[in-house]
Amino acid sequence: MFKGKLCLAPMVRAGELPTRLLALKNNCDLVWSPELVDKKLLQTNRLINEKLNSIDYILPNGNIVFRTIPKLEAGKLILQIGSADPDLAVQAASKVINDVDGIDLNAGCPKHFSIHSGMGAALLSTPELLCSILENLVKKVGVPNKKPISAKIRLLPEQKDTIDLIEKLCNTGITNLTVHCRTREMRNRESPIRDYLIDIYKMCKKHDVSLIINGDLQTRSNFLEVRDQCGLPEEVGGMIADAAEVNPTVFNCNGPNEKWWAIMDEYIKLATQWENNFGNTKYMLSRIIPGKSPVFQIILRCHDYEQIKYVQTKLINPESGTLLRDPKDFIESLQNKGKKDNKNKKKKRSANGINMTSRDTKTTTKKVKI
């Protein structure tokens, strides 16, 4: 399933449904969901959305944690779980396994939101726990459901330690290993370490585990060049992260579409069609649209899909991405709406504040004897 495939990396915010679909439309082979923490996933209810023909995992407060379109993602969707507990990992994976094509364990993210509970890259410091989680996932979820279990890691500071860890991981029964070619301490601006990828490949090959490399890959052609330069065979796959966040067409065999306004147009259509969270859509558009473009600032001021649709169809030249006319009047209307919305919010806060003050007064006032 994983051999030789070029994949969309698991990314917070950038790995939601519209980005995944846009990547698949542009020759991406496999897509990863954002990391979903086991405890949050277990709080959700699975619902069949008959309007969209989607499968939704929704929290009690109504927030959608995960949405997939089976007819468009079937056979190509890997869900990544964040966990530091074998039992919770199994429970969470079991809950979603029928709606995805594999489960991946996050053991590489160095961000605080992932490692603060011993998840993500923190698992690299607890290899016994890491292996235990994977063994349980393989035995209790992967094998019974005939679905692959995989892991994504970073390099350890020393080559020998990395190879030793990888051998332990391969012995857990996983099907695939994705290696981000940086250490936990390294940032994305630093060049990846690819010196001993061939040794990592040989260890994976020894245990019949496929390998995907990740870290500073830009396009499909760039991935093929890196793979050749490292002396790796065609069965080694690749995973693109940051470059795909900015331009989900980087997977194309003929190269990415360099017209950001065309990519923006496709993204808006998908986000609108599949009712993507507006805040997430706005964030992704801020990544797709160049910061120097006047369109960037206009989009940031939009409050809903209707306004974004207006910018898309009335203000932007579809041939060049330039503005068709002066947007001053539209910007003023956005500002007026923003002021009105803020005023309403202040009224609500004020009302809540008065109620809170009266309650606080009752509970904190002490009787003083005179």
Question: Using alpha carbons only, how large is the chain's radius of gyration in Å?
Answer: 24
Question: Is the distance from CB of 78 to CB of 31 less than 8 angstroms?
Answer: yes
The dihedral over CA atoms of 2, 215, 138, 140, expressed in degrees to the nearest 10, equals -110
What CA–CA distance (Å, rounded) separates 108 from 121?
4
Give the start-end residues of each E strand in 156-280: 176-183, 210-214, 237-240
The helix or strand, by DSSP H or E, that contains position 55, with its residue range, turns out to be strand 54-58
Q: How many contiguous H segments (helices) and E segments (strands) does the chain have?
A: 16, 12
As given in the structure block, the two tokens for residue 51 are 């309007």
Q: Which of 7, 28, 109, 204 is catalytic?
A: 109
Tallying the residues shown for the chain, one arrives at: 370
Q: Of the candidates 60, 119, 61, which has an alpha carbon nearest to the alpha carbon of residue 86? A: 119
How many CB atoms lie under 10 A from the CB of residue 174? 24
At 335, which amino acid appears? Q
Three-state secondary-structure class, residue 207? coil
Is 131 a residue of the active site?
Answer: no
Catalytic residues: 109
